């Protein structure tokens, strides 16, 4: 009779990971490698040296943020698939502001750029959110379709007004030194964006679990009707969650511009927004889960590129593993929901059936 408790969720996620390894063993064998060796290269090797360990954190930084962004929206029942576009808008804003704040000291330049990037991400999330709340237009479609639009905007800028005047490459000018994210450890690429990501996840956890706002957001996501009935303004909650989600995704773009590339490039995001969906799902939409899943996928990303070198298998196999992981996780978690429903007291459907007769 009892619903399957949350405790079993981590077990299901681990099962999903194992199942993914089983499924992706096929392509790895086709690529001519031993699957066991490949997984060791994917997961263990990156953790064995300080350099690769820090690279894992560098890779995790943007997807921790997009993962948190997606998880917050999903918890509210707002299916934001547009973290990629929101990230790109954050990156555009960071590059724009970053080149203009050369006269300001970092203590001013950095906050201005961070806030600007967050606002830009939120702005990109605003229109689909309004369409959903006001007219009931499916946000899955609108947020998804705005992603290529954002990329076109990036390319339009880079091939037009923002083209690097010195090299002529389609890249923006380098941002001012005062706008660059300081690195956390000498001779590594690990920058303060990682700390921002951890802080965002911490705050998001606190808000979701400990505040009335978070409880309202969760209630709205779990049962919009029940939440509205209890006097919760579901529309406003969705709008807030969507904007917050866009802002956090925007921060991921700021981090890549200010911490890694120091300029806007058309390849600023190899799909971090979409990876965020994997992170959020694998993290079962909880903030501790997002933190673990982000680090796990960061590990996998670093491992995939080093495995490409050491084992001679295509680095794209890393993306294959990610994709399969998303599918297995969703499949297993859906299974859990169905089982929970089947195990619930069967009063509701038959009662409805009888009542209509």
Partner 1 sequence: MTATSPALELRGITKRFGDLVANDGVDFDVRGGEVHALLGENGAGKTTVMRIAYGLTQADAGEVLVHGQRIDLRSPRDAIAAGIGMVTQHFALVAPMTVAENLALGRATGLRLDLDDARRRVADAADRFGMRVDPAARVENLSVGQQQRVEILKALSRDCRVLILDEPTAVLVPGEVDALFATLRSLVADGLAVVFISHKLAEVRAISDRVSVLRRGRLVATVDGDTNERELASMMVGRPSFGVERPSDAGPELREPVLRISDLHAAGSHGLEALASVTLDVGAGEIVGVAGVSGNGQTELVDVLSGMRAPSSGSIVVGDTDLTGADPTRMMAAGIGRIPEDRHASLVGDLSVAYNLVLERLDDFRAGGRIDGRRIREHAVALIERFDIRAGPDDPVASLSGGNIQKVLLARVLSRDPRVVVVSQPTRGLDIGATEYVRSQLLERRAAGAAILLVSEDLDELLALADRLVVLYEGRIVGEMPTTGVDVDRLGMLMAGRGEAA
* Closest approach of partner 1 to the CB of residue 194, in Å: 27
| Per-residue x/- track, 160-199, partner 1 (CB under 8 A) | ----------------------------------------
Please identify, among the stretches 18-26, 88-96, 137-145, 210-218, the one whose residues bind partner 1 according to the rule CB under 8 A: 210-218
- For partner 1 (CB under 8 A), the number of binding residues is 33
* Closest approach of partner 1 to the CB of residue 340, in Å: 8
273/289 with CB nearer partner 1: 289
* Closest approach of partner 1 to the CB of residue 226, in Å: 4
- 130-124-112-195 Cα dihedral, nearest 10 degrees: 100
| Rounded Cα gap, residues 241 and 245, in angstroms | 6
Choose, by CB under 8 A, the member of 25, 228, 308, 319 that binds partner 1.
228
Residue 75 in the binding site for partner 1 (CB under 8 A)? no
Q: Tokens 């509210």 belong to which residue?
A: 76
**3-class state of residue 138 by DSSP:** coil
Vertex 240 angle, CA 331 and 279, to 5°: 30
Residue 45 in the binding site for partner 1 (CB under 8 A)? no
**3-class state of residue 299 by DSSP:** helix
* Cβ atoms of 252 and 272 closer than 8 Å: yes
Tell me how far CA of residue 131 lies from CA of 1, 75, 153, 242, in angstroms: 40, 19, 21, 12
* Closest approach of partner 1 to the CB of residue 142, in Å: 21
Burial class of 143 by CB neighbour count within 10 A (0 to 12, 13 to 18, 19+): buried
Residue 1 in the binding site for partner 1 (CB under 8 A)? yes
Residue 210 in the binding site for partner 1 (CB under 8 A)? yes
Q: Give contact residues for partner 1 (rule: CB under 8 A).
A: 1-3, 206, 210-212, 215-216, 218-219, 222-223, 225-232, 344-348, 350-351, 353-357
């Amino acid at each position: 009779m009892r619903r399957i408790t949350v405790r079993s969720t981590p077990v299901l996620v681990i099962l999903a990971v194992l199942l993914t390894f089983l499924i992706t063993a096929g392509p790895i064998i086709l690529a001519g490698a031993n699957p066991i060796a490949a997984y060791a290269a994917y997961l263990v090797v990156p953790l064995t040296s300080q350099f690769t360990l820090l690279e894992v954190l560098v890779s995790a930084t943007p997807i921790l943020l997009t993962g948190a962004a997606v998880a917050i929206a999903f918890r509210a029942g707002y299916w934001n698939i547009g973290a990629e576009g929101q990230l790109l808008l954050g990156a555009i804003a960071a590059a724009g502001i970053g080149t203009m704040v050369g006269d300001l000291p970092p203590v001013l330049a950095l906050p201005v750029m961070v806030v600007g990037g967050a606002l830009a991400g939120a702005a990109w999330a605003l229109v689909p959110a309004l369409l959903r709340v006001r007219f009931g237009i499916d946000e899955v479609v609108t947020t998804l379709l705005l992603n290529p639009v954002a990329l076109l905007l990036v390319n339009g800028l880079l091939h037009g007004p923002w083209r690097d005047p010195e090299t002529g490459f389609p890249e923006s000018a380098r941002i001012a030194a005062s706008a660059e994210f300081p690195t956390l450890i000498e001779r590594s690429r690990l920058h303060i964006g990682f700390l921002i990501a951890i802080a965002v996840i911490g705050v998001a956890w606190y808000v979701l679990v400990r505040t009335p706002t978070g409880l309202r957001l969760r209630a709205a996501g779990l049962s919009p009707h029940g939440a509205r009935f209890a006097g919760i303004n579901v529309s406003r909650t969705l709008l807030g969650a969507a904007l917050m989600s866009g802002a956090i995704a925007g921060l991921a773009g700021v981090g890549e511009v200010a911490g890694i590339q120091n300029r806007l490039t058309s390849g600023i995001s190899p799909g971090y927004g979409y990876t965020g969906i994997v992170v959020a799902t694998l993290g079962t939409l909880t903030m501790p889960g997002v933190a673990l899943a982000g680090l796990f996928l960061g590990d996998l990303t670093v491992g995939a590129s080093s495995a490409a070198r050491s084992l001679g298998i295509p680095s794209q196999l890393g993306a294959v593993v990610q994709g399969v992981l998303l599918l297995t996780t969703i499949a297993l978690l859906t299974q859990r929901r169905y089982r929970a429903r089947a195990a619930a007291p069967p009063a509701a459907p038959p009662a409805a059936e009888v009542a209509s007769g």
